[in-house]
A and B are shown apart, each in its own frame.
Chain A
């Protein structure tokens, strides 16, 4: 299609405007995290100032915040491990299984993942209180499988689909059984997919809020819930609150850069193929 110069200008103008709107909140949060308490409330707002790291340093020396940060890492990593161990072989089975089987399992997994957490949480709360899983990291890892397991099933099935079937047939001719060819031939070939899937799961587990808010109380609280407590107790120290937001955001941004090639596919969650 022929695009005229004036049209191109309009397109760019609109894109730049929308881009500014998209970036403004993030930039503002970053600026706020680098301001002192006085500068934060200056009116008109300060756009040029000498950035300070006091807020970040205060967080680093806050034992409770750092513990919640560690909790987040442990919970997210544990969730990834559980979801991958159970989900990866399953995804292989789905990828090589019949069409009907595949459709049934994947659609159901998608529905499970999409459903709001509120639907599941009440019995978990009652059960966890009864069996002592409340406020434990393992309890959170377990319930996080609700959305990470479907994620693994979807993305890994797509990655296994890309590994040609002829390879397994060759392995079979050479006398390898299904399990041998899975571990020796297929898995190594799907390694980038494994990495991308693991990171995607990590991001989702890291970002989770509702389950953590309800099932963690003190010892097991992850960083997103810690922020809430932080706001409640240090409500006026907005610099610190902003810094804690940046803290939580950073790992996610880093990871999404690492897997940017697969990020889009993962975020769309099979919406198009489904």
Chain B
């Protein structure tokens, strides 16, 4: 490629890069700086230097420690269920039986439903008389609790909503992964007389490993960002049982107006995110090498 042409191509990309950099890198750096300051909008707009004060506050803040636990819960539990269910759905839909095309189209519907509506819908369902859910559970003999009003069931209510909303993504990715698997392995397996679960265990699952890593990474990042569903369904309660760290940061910054402490929480959130991703990406790299 001619030198001038290459420069032209890079030049027309420049505005987008500059704008995106400005909108993302500067705010992240600013947040980092703010975390060492004392800015409390509930009092007055005065920027002071606080050193490590905000960070030292973290360790005696039991609500922060609780939010860390909730964050881990909402990353580990819903994502594990989503991955498993997504895989099962993909395996069910993979064989081109009549009607699976329509089924695929219907199964991805939750993906476009606005998160606010996801929250709203499930909140309605979990309200005992209004939602009908408890009635139907009662019909099959399950005495259902008042979901959103006790800590543990509220966590599971949010988990269920999250599974509903994001399992389709996992399914879609696994389906795409299944389509790229080479057929020869399966022919060989048939000739060798392998049963279906042997085929699954020794061929399909190992071959899906790379795509599973990608799905997992995407899901973890988005699970960390879960916000509208919690905002609508529980508002973080009861007793902060569904209050992950980014929700706590939101309340700190925008309800209590303690901007600096919120920035500190966001920095910790960012670090958690980075740690999770780094951990999984590294293990993925090691896998391939």
Contact = CB atoms under 8 A, between A and B. Distances in A.
B203 to A, nearest CB: 11
B173 A105 contact: no
A209 B227 contact: yes
A41 B105 contact: no
Interface in B26-60: 26-28, 30-31, 34, 39
How many B residues touch the partner, as a band? 35 or more
Given A96-B9, A224-B114, A248-B117, A26 B109 contact: yes
A94 interface: yes
B182 interface: no
A48 interface: no
A267 B108 contact: yes
A158 B186 CA distance: 32
Interface residues of A, number: 86
Query: By DSSP majority rule, is chain B's interface helix, strand, loop, or mixed?
Result: helix
B76 interface: no
A118 B120 contact: no
Interface in A57-115: 86-87, 89-90, 92-94, 96-98, 101, 105, 109, 112, 114-115
B20 A145 contact: yes
Interface in B78-113: 88-89, 92-93, 95, 97, 99-100, 103, 105-113
Interface stretch (B62-70, B145-153, B261-269): B261-269
A143 B14 CA distance: 19
Contacts of A164: none
B266 A146 contact: no
A44 interface: yes
A115 B116 contact: no
Interface in A235-254: 238, 241-242, 245, 248-249, 252-253
B208 interface: no
Contacts of A112: 20, 24
Contacts of B108: 263-264, 267
B24 A118 contact: no
Interface centre among A89, A93, A264 (most CB of B within 10 A): A93
Given A117-B225, A123-B26, 17 more contacts: A21-B164, A25-B125, A26-B121, A32-B124, A116-B221, A116-B225, A116-B273, A118-B249, A119-B31, A178-B8, A210-B228, A224-B116, A248-B114, A253-B112, A263-B112, A267-B172, A274-B214
Interface of B: 1, 5-6, 8-17, 19-20, 23-24, 26-28, 30-31, 34, 39, 88-89, 92-93, 95, 97, 99-100, 103, 105-117, 120-122, 124-125, 129-132, 135, 164, 169, 172-173, 176-177, 186, 190, 211, 214-215, 218, 221-222, 224-225, 227-228, 231-232, 246, 249-250, 253-254, 259, 262-263, 266, 269-270, 273
